[in-house]
């Protein structure tokens, strides 16, 4: 049976402006300028403020009396309704908004807005530049280009010869054979730099590099190890390999060190995992002024924006006009919409600045000892909820600020996430940061005898002796988070 019913629900919905503000908040400094340019392309009423201009950012006219007179006039838009376009009030409301911040945050000297552009040769461009060494005809050149295009950023070939043949036939209408493809792959492996490029596996990559070295007994032993005992080598079963090769300790150590010096990723010198993260532009700067921590915001986070003078002039012209037809009404509504959008975007940028500074100041106050000394052991346990409670912001807002922002200190540049960690209780009942435990764990491993590295059980016992109640599986988890391998793989000859 179908029935009608009426229900009353209380739902929380985010407006489009709130969603855009959250997106602005999580944008790092390096991407903010690009986001502002996108907004300017969509909204011509928004522009950078002229630093040399002496006029007010949102002033309509230099004659305040004329402005007042014009703003009192009613404008007839249609025969049935009358609307008053109060441009002066609209712009005056913008003037009343306090968007400025004190010099305590920005300092006296402002950074230049220009960002240096890196000029670099990519890995594939470097390989393509060597094709002239092979003296190929037009067809073989296309085949070789297809092979190089199938090499990944580490230098390995990721397509089988049969797949390359199909790619050329269907994609470029070039018909070749497996023999021709394999021959060109062999030439690239033997002649191209860096050595080891165009291999299918790590074993083949290392073998190609060894074959480029001058012939010697050590090189011969290295090739034999990789050819016959590659699995034992990767698992560091050195005693077994040494026994089979019948080498003394000194000769075997020299052979192993020669293999270790080879490059497992020939293309690594050219590849950039993430160009946006290949260099860091800090969002904040923290200075220690005789024990007083001073926070400043990167000036790129505080762009001087204003409403376009051209759009304001359009509104003035409309106010002074005699004829108010339907087309003029549509035009003025469009202009006002753009002015509203420009004003909102300026407000959003200022709100972003305020939230960034508020959150960073709370982090500095919470981790004051670290910012004064740079010692990880002085780091306090701190979670997002702690900062949210101090700033009266939502946890999700604090998370967006901490996710992709960096702060530059006298001890280095850190991601804001670095300062957040869980707590761990010591024997005395004191709560310490897990980052402190990781720091001590890393220090213990760095000082161990690499010929007899500590097992996870031994590391657990050593941390327990220092007063940290920690389980072996937790030690293993922290070790993995520090990108430190197990004891067997840390062993050296």
219 occurs within a structural domain:
yes
Q: Are residues 157 and 133 in the same domain?
A: yes
Q: Are residues 188 and 222 in the same domain?
A: no
CA dihedral 181→185→190→194, nearest 10 degrees, is 150
Q: Are residues 210 and 183 in the same domain?
A: no
Q: What pLDDT, in 10s, does the model give residues 422-432? A: 767 666 656 66
66 occurs within a structural domain:
no
Domains contained in the chain, number? 4
Given a cut of 70, is residue 240 above it in pLDDT?
yes
Q: Which of 200, 215, 242 is the last residue of a domain?
A: 200
Q: Are residues 219 and 192 in the same domain?
A: no
* Strongest mean pLDDT among 52-56, 97-101, 335-339, 444-448: 444-448
Tell me the C-alpha distance between 321 and 312, whole Å.
14
Residue range of the domain that includes 131: 123-200
Residue found under tokens 């083949």? 204
Given a cut of 70, is residue 16 above it in pLDDT?
no
Q: Which of 376, 399, 419 is the last residue of a domain?
A: 419
154 occurs within a structural domain:
yes
Q: Which of 269, 297, 317 is the last residue of a domain?
A: 269
279 occurs within a structural domain:
no
Tell me the C-alpha distance between 126 and 379, whole Å.
45
Q: Are residues 210 and 175 in the same domain?
A: no
Q: Are residues 221 and 195 in the same domain?
A: no
Q: Are residues 387 and 437 in the same domain?
A: no
193 occurs within a structural domain:
yes
Buried/exposed 366-379: b ≥16 CB within 10 Å, e otherwise = bbeebbbeeebeeb
Q: Are residues 195 and 206 in the same domain?
A: no
Tell me the C-alpha distance between 45 and 43, whole Å.
5
DSSP string, 368-411: HHHHHH--GGGPPPB-HHHHHHHHT--HHHHHHHHHS-EEEETT
What is the pLDDT at residue 361?
A: 92
The CATH code of the domain that includes 154 is 1.10.10.1330
What is the pLDDT at residue 115?
A: 43
pLDDT band at 112 (very low <50, low <70, confident <90, very high): very low
92 occurs within a structural domain:
no
Retrieve residue 375's tokens: 């010692």
Retrieve residue 245's tokens: 């090769």
* Mean pLDDT in residue range 148-155: 88
Given a cut of 60, is residue 52 above it in pLDDT?
no
Which sign, positive or negative, has the C-alpha torsion 159, 162, 163, 165?
Answer: positive
**pTM across the whole model:** 0.53
Q: Are residues 168 and 156 in the same domain?
A: yes
DSSP string, 48-77: E--TT--S-TT---S-HHHHHHHHT--EE-
Tell me the C-alpha distance between 274 and 6, whole Å.
53
138 occurs within a structural domain:
yes
Retrieve residue 170's tokens: 């269907």
Distances (CA, A) of 392 to 105, 159, 205, 359: 20, 54, 56, 10
Q: Are residues 235 and 177 in the same domain?
A: no
Q: Are residues 185 and 252 in the same domain?
A: no
What is the pLDDT at residue 364?
A: 92
The CATH code of the domain that includes 456 is 1.10.10.60
339 occurs within a structural domain:
no
Q: Are residues 228 and 180 in the same domain?
A: no
């Amino acid at each position: 049976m179908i029935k009608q019913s009426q229900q009353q629900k209380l739902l929380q919905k985010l407006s489009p402006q709130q969603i855009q503000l959250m997106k602005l908040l999580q944008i790092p400094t390096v991407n903010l300028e690009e986001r502002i340019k996108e907004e300017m392309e969509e909204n011509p009423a928004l522009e950078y403020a002229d630093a040399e201009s002496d006029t007010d950012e949102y002033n309509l006219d230099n004659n305040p009396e004329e402005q007042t007179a014009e703003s009192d006039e009613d404008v007839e838009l249609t025969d049935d309704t009358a609307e008053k376009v109060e441009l002066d009030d609209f712009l005056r409301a913008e003037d009343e908004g306090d968007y400025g911040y004190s010099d305590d945050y920005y300092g006296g000297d402002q950074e230049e807005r220009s960002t240096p552009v890196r000029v670099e040769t990519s890995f594939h461009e470097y390989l393509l530049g060597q094709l002239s060494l092979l003296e190929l005809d037009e067809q073989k050149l296309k085949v070789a280009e297809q092979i190089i295009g199938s090499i990944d950023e580490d230098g390995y070939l990721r397509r089988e010869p049969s797949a390359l043949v199909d790619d050329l036939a269907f994609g470029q209408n070039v018909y070749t054979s497996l023999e021709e493809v394999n021959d060109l792959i062999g030439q690239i492996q033997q002649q191209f730099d860096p050595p080891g490029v165009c291999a299918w596996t790590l074993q083949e990559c290392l073998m190609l590099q060894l074959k480029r070295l001058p012939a010697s007994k050590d090189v011969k032993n290295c090739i034999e190890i990789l050819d016959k005992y590659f699995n034992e080598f990767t698992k560091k079963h050195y005693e077994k390999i040494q026994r089979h090769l019948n080498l003394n300790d000194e000769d075997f150590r020299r052979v192993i060190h020669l293999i270790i010096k080879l490059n497992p990723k020939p293309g690594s010198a050219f590849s950039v995992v993430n160009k946006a993260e290949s260099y860091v532009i800090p969002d904040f700067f923290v200075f220690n002024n005789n024990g007083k921590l001073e926070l400043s915001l990167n000036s790129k986070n505080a762009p001087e924006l204003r409403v376009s003078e051209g759009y304001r002039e359009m509104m003035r012209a409309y106010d002074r006009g005699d004829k108010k037809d339907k087309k003029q009404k549509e035009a003025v509504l469009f202009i006002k919409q753009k002015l509203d959008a420009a004003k909102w975007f300026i407000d959003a940028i200022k709100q972003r600045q305020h939230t960034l500074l508020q959150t960073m100041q709370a982090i500095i106050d919470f981790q004051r000892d670290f910012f004064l000394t740079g010692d990880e052991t002085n780091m306090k346990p701190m979670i997002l909820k702690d900062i949210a409670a101090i700033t009266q912001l939502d946890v999700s807002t604090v998370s967006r600020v901490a996710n992709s922002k960096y702060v530059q200190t006298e001890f280095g540049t850190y991601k804001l996430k670095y300062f957040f960690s869980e707590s761990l209780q010591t024997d005395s009942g004191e709560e310490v940061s897990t980052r402190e435990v990781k720091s001590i764990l890393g220090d213990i491993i760095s000082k161990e005898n690499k010929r007899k590295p500590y097992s996870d059980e031994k590391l657990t016992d050593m941390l327990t002796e220092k007063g940290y109640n920690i389980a072996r599986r937790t030690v293993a988890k922290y070790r993995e988070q520090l990108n430190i391998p197990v004891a067997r793989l840390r062993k050296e000859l």
